[in-house]
Chain A
Amino acid sequence: MDTAQPSRARLGLRAVMITAVAILAIFPLLNQLPADNVFHVSDFLVSVSGKWICYAILALSLDLAWGYAGILSLGHGAFFALGGYAMGMHLMRLIGPRGSYGHPVLPDFMVFLGYQELPWYWLGFNHFSFAMLMVVAIPGLLALVLGWLCFRSRITGVYLSIITQAMTYALMLAFFRNDMGLGGNNGFTDFKELLGMPLNTGAARISLFYASLIALVASYLFCLWITGTKYGRVLTAIRDAESRVRFLGYNTTSHKLFAFVASAMMAGIAGALYVPQVGIINPGEFSPGNSIEAVIWVAVGGRGTLVGAVIGAFSVNGLKTWLTSAAPDLWLFVLGGLFVAVTLFLPKGLVGLLQGRAK
């Protein structure tokens, strides 16, 4: 948030980030230890942390839009889900004739719904590179259109948040419909393989885990680069006083649009890595609650600091995983309470606590 923070505090945060990545990097190795070893990491923890890494990428993307550019998106889950759907379409095409109905091309749900041929928008998804392009292109395009319409009309603040929330809700309703040709309320599941690797093997899980970790580091470095340039400072200035930036001659619409689209693309990548790890994607991923949870991760960790977003995603999801098994009824109250408490007492989030100590 403040570019002029003491470099010691900033270095401290980077050290936290490096440590976290290093610990995560050896998770699969610790998983190989005998189960009675104190350093043993369970299969469950490995797979769940793979998901958290994807959430951390989503949190970073939201932080770029919200923490730096001041665009509070309550619909970032939609970009995540769209990236997930693009990956899901690829995985569905790769099932080929191995589906329950054994159709050579059509996925099971299409056979069930009486489709005769593949809808045009499914073409190309059998190619990995095309699918990966769509993982970023579809969320990016949606962000471009929505952002352009909103930013040029100078819709900001709570109005923009409501529009993004409505966008993800509308998409959820749309994806629930069977005639969208995208699996309706069941979505996509029963994936078999990715890049020739059967998905039900340990090797596939570990590969996806490392792919996610590499994507997290790459996203972090990307955001670190962006926020360190003059462009990053323009974003900060827009966040704090947009009209003043216009009077300096900056077309703030194009600056916000650039950040919003980049952010949506990152969220799409996170969703694409998430889907093969959890083995399913359905319209529930568009539910407004998901987007709001992502905002809470960033707020808890500390918006406007990249490490804060990552810490927030891991800590809130860690708490969620623990609490939803220990006391499932409590979770939503804790989540709500957490948001209120952070807003009232920790405006800079957990990172603010760390920085306070470093000073």
Chain B
Amino acid sequence: MRGRRLYLDGVSVVFDGFRALNNLALVVEPGEMRAVIGPNGAGKTTMMDVITGKTRPTAGIVTFGDLDLTRMDEAAIANLGIGRKFQKPTVFDALTVFENLELALKAPRGPIACLRWVLAGGGRTRIEEVTTEIGLTDRAHDRAGILSHGQKQWLEIGMMLMQDPDLMLVDEPVAGMTDAETEHTAKLLARIAGKHSVVVVEHDLDFVRALGCKVTVLHEGTLLSEGSIDHVQNDPRVVEVYLGR
């Protein structure tokens, strides 16, 4: 088991008086897979923004191992080994699938290092492995801009794999995917977990059930319930939030 423990406690984010996160606590152990669910506006994406340095918390503790993430910028946090897949897939349209993966490949990130960069055999093999893993082998030299929505989702997952992060934050990985693709994604994520910590935000409860991991339910920026999928589905507070009173 490698990696560090992700620890959030008392985290609040206030935007112009609106509490996007309210005294949120979350612990993800190294190698753990965690699903985060909750209705729209529950604060799932804001939580990821806080972990990855996009949003500074108004209050609270966010640490990864013994490192304080609230003092770092996005690039530094990414280099610590926290990868993120966005809800809306953002790949680099003007570059090919191969080039997108090459940019994500773990390597020195400075301008001079990039100018002098030569893709060695190991890196090429890794890119080819990931290209196969995400099923885009025959599209490797097509521009990412012409991929379908589902393929862009895959490419973005692939880019996250290339970074080889200790912790992966995956925001709605199966939005817009077919059932077969959804199933493939669940298997892929299950395979990744164990080696890496994975936090998956998802609306699709069947998908969450397929992941078979501990589930955290957020509501109005705070922790509502935590436990197995059966536990949270039978929690009266969760039922109330999801089904109304």
Contact at A3–B99, with CB atoms within 8 Å? yes
A32 at the interface (CB under 8 A from B): no
CB contacts under 8 Å to B, within A219-254, are 226, 229-231, 233-234, 236-237, 239-241, 243-252, 254
Q: Tell me which of B83, B90, B119 contacts A241 (CB under 8 A).
A: B90
Contact at B103–A251, with CB atoms within 8 Å? no
Contact at A249–B78, with CB atoms within 8 Å? yes
Contact at B115–A248, with CB atoms within 8 Å? no
A6 CB to closest chain B CB (Å) equals 11
Contact at A248–B103, with CB atoms within 8 Å? yes
Which of B57-65, B104-112, B227-235 lies at the interface with chain A? B104-112
Which residue, of A226, A244, A247, has the highest number of chain B Cβ atoms within 10 A? A247
Contact at A241–B84, with CB atoms within 8 Å? no
Contact at B92–A241, with CB atoms within 8 Å? yes
Chain B residues near A246: list those with CB within 8 A.
Answer: 73-75, 78
Known: A230-B102, A243-B74. A249 touches B111 (CB 8 A): no
Contact at A234–B104, with CB atoms within 8 Å? no
Contact at A248–B114, with CB atoms within 8 Å? no
Chain B residues near A241: list those with CB within 8 A.
Answer: 90, 92
A245 to B102, CA, bound (A): 12
B19 at the interface (CB under 8 A from A): no
Contact at B79–A249, with CB atoms within 8 Å? yes
A250 to B110, CA, bound (A): 7
B142 at the interface (CB under 8 A from A): yes
Q: Interface 1/0s, chain B 86-123, versus A by CB < 8 A?
A: 10001111111001001110000111101111010000
Contact at A230–B117, with CB atoms within 8 Å? yes
B143 at the interface (CB under 8 A from A): yes
Q: Taking CB as reference atom, which chain B residue is nearest A229?
A: B115
A254 to B75, CA, bound (A): 11
Contact at A251–B93, with CB atoms within 8 Å? no
A335 CB to closest chain B CB (Å) equals 29
CB contacts under 8 Å to B, within A244-297, are 244-252, 254-255, 258-259
A9 CB to closest chain B CB (Å) equals 14
CB contacts under 8 Å to B, within A1-20, are 1-4
A345 to B54, CA, bound (A): 37
A298 to B111, CA, bound (A): 25
Chain B residues touching A, range? 35 or more
Contact at B111–A255, with CB atoms within 8 Å? yes
Contact at A243–B54, with CB atoms within 8 Å? yes
Contact at A249–B109, with CB atoms within 8 Å? yes
Chain A residues near B84: list those with CB within 8 A.
Answer: 247
Contact at B103–A247, with CB atoms within 8 Å? no
Contact at A236–B73, with CB atoms within 8 Å? no
Contact at B115–A233, with CB atoms within 8 Å? no
B159 at the interface (CB under 8 A from A): yes
A8 CB to closest chain B CB (Å) equals 15
B2 CB to closest chain A CB (Å) equals 18
Chain A residues near B95: list those with CB within 8 A.
Answer: 3-4, 233, 236-237
Contact at B102–A249, with CB atoms within 8 Å? no
Contact at B110–A240, with CB atoms within 8 Å? no
Q: Taking CB as reference atom, which chain A residue is nearest B156?
A: A244
B150 CB to closest chain A CB (Å) equals 19
Chain A residues near B142: list those with CB within 8 A.
Answer: 4
A333 to B221, CA, bound (A): 56
Contact at B111–A258, with CB atoms within 8 Å? yes
Contact at A248–B93, with CB atoms within 8 Å? no
Chain A residues near B131: list those with CB within 8 A.
Answer: none
Q: Tell me which of A230, A239, A243, A244 contacts B114 (CB under 8 A).
A: A230
Contact at A2–B117, with CB atoms within 8 Å? no
CB contacts under 8 Å to A, within B141-155, are 141-143
B52 at the interface (CB under 8 A from A): yes
Chain B residues near A250: list those with CB within 8 A.
Answer: 75, 109
Known: A3-B95, A4-B141, A254-B110. A231 touches B115 (CB 8 A): yes
Contact at A248–B94, with CB atoms within 8 Å? no
Known: A244-B86, A247-B54, A248-B159. 8 other contacts (CB 8 A): A3-B99, A4-B142, A233-B95, A244-B92, A247-B75, A248-B78, A248-B103, A249-B163
15 A–B pairs (Cβ distance < 8 Å), ordered by A:
A3-B95, A4-B95, A4-B142, A226-B115, A229-B115, A230-B102, A233-B102, A236-B92, A236-B95, A240-B92, A246-B73, A247-B74, A249-B75, A258-B111, A258-B112
